[in-house]
Amino acid sequence: MIDLPPPSLRLDFDSAALADNWRTLDRMSGAASAGAAVKADAYGIGVARAVPALSAAGARDFYVAHWSEVPALAALVPPEQVAVLHGPMTGADCAFARVCGVRPVLNSLDQAARWKAGGGGPCDLMVDTGINRLGVPMDALGDPVLAGLEIDTLMSHLASADEDSALNDRQLARFAQACAAIPARRRSLANSAGIALGADFAFDVTRPGLALYGGVPRAEFAGAIRQVVHPKAAIMQVRRIAGGEGVGYNATFIAPSAMRVGVVSLGYADGFLRARGPNHALMHEGARLPLLGKVSMDMVVVDLAASPSLGEGDWVDVPFDLPAEADRSGLSQYELLTTLGMRLRA
């Protein structure tokens, strides 16, 4: 087969920044070691890119949500380093876990019973200390079905670690009770934001996701976390439009006078959602190229006035400083990452 021609859209990936972020989070985790949440295709940047860099940096615990995410990950790291957060909802999930050699995170007494019925083996156990999402409730920790499980990691998940909320200390106290009640090889409570809450929250393993990929969930991380991915898109066509002409669907932008505009190969299918349309800009060497009209599926139109030398085939930068873009768009830093489209992934 003939090689693919060069793309008009790409995601520059800074593997050194990802490795540095992991090392920073590992150091901030104190005596605990940092794992890595790589669910949702490593938050949209691509497991195939992210996991080898994380593994080389020293990460030994990887978390995905779905069973469908196991094969891509198990091709890159030993299966005993993989835990599946959604847990076994069926006997088929249990059989799959056992054959692959990955650990299910048991989230309920039913899941624990199902895992034991299928023959058991190493597993993790999620306890609900107050997020009221997945996890065994505190008042069920004495249930006999939990006895005799081979628990690698006893875990819980913080609901408000990105805020100075009283819920953090309440969850910490409940998790300490759970640790006293349930024997396990290791304990884990903190996500990215939880790592900044201090040594008490670190236990044996931390589970950062967002901050690995350049997100800043709490002020403590500002300046310590580096941007990992840099989307870039090419100008496909330069047009001169007359004053009074509309741009894009529904002509929501009308040129006030003659303009030179660029049609750029980037759209909402690539994760550049319409929330990033009006008042946003693409960039070129520090110059702002304001977006004109609506974001389309595969293209946007920008004003080239600030960079008159730009022409067809030239690349422009898509701003992706996560805290800044989240403030500007109303999207969360998580959404900015996980909506990166297939055309940008590894």
Give the residue ranges of the annotated binding site for substrate: 133, 297
Residue entry with tokens 């998940």: 157
Label residue 342 exposed, middle or buried (CB < 10 Å: 0-12, 13-18, 19+). exposed
Note if 39 is an active site residue: yes
The answer to the question of residue 157 lying near ligand PLP (CB under 6 A) is yes
208 binds ligand PLP (CB under 6 A): yes
**Of the candidates 167, 129, 124, 120, which has an alpha carbon nearest to the alpha carbon of residue 148?**
120
> Judged by CB, which is closer to ligand PLP: 131, or 140?
131
Residue pair 230/49 in contact by the 8 Å Cβ criterion: no
Tell me the one-letter amino acid at 59: A
Q: Segment near ligand PLP (CB under 6 A), from 207-215, 253-261, 310-318, 338-346? A: 207-215
| Residue 191 is a binding residue for ligand PLP (CB under 6 A) | yes
Q: Least distance from C-beta 106 to ligand PLP, angstroms? A: 13
Shortest spacing between CB 139 and ligand PLP, in angstroms:
21
Which parts of 149-264 fold into alpha helices (H)? 166-181, 192-195
Q: Provide the 3-class DSSP secondary structure of residue 194.
A: helix
86 binds ligand PLP, rule: CB under 6 A: no
DSSP 258-299: -EEEEEES--GGGT--GGGSTT-EEEETTEEEEEES---SS-
Is residue 85 within the footprint of ligand PLP (CB under 6 A)? yes
Q: Identify whether 63 is a catalytic site residue.
A: no
At closest approach, how far in Å is the CB of 88 from ligand PLP?
16
Rounded to a whole number of angstroms, the minimum distance from the CB of residue 37 to ligand PLP is 4
The residue within the footprint of ligand PLP, chosen from 192, 265, 296, 307 (CB under 6 A), is 192
d(CA 220, CA 212): 14
Q: Supply 187's token pair.
A: 């304990």
The residue from 63, 116, 249, 334 that is catalytic is 249
User: Whose Cβ is closer to ligand PLP: residue 152's or residue 303's?
Assistant: 152
Residue ranges in the chain assigned as alpha helix (H):
15-28, 39-43, 47-57, 70-74, 91-100, 109-117, 166-181, 192-195, 322-329, 333-338
Residues 11-40 that bind ligand PLP (CB under 6 A): 37, 39
| Structure tokens belonging to residue 61 | 């615990």
State which residue has the least CB distance to ligand PLP.
209
* Comparison of 42 and 264: residue with beta carbon closer to ligand PLP: 42
**Rounded distance between C-alpha atoms, residue 104 and residue 40, angstroms:** 17
- Residue with Cβ nearer ligand PLP (66 or 239): 66
**Non-local CB neighbours of 185 within 8 Å, separated by 6+ positions:** 151, 152, 153
Choices 188-196, 251-259, 309-317, 335-343; region in contact with ligand PLP by CB under 6 A? 188-196
Q: Which residues bind ligand PLP (CB under 6 A)?
A: 37, 39, 85, 157, 191-193, 207-210
Q: Give the active site residues.
A: 39, 249
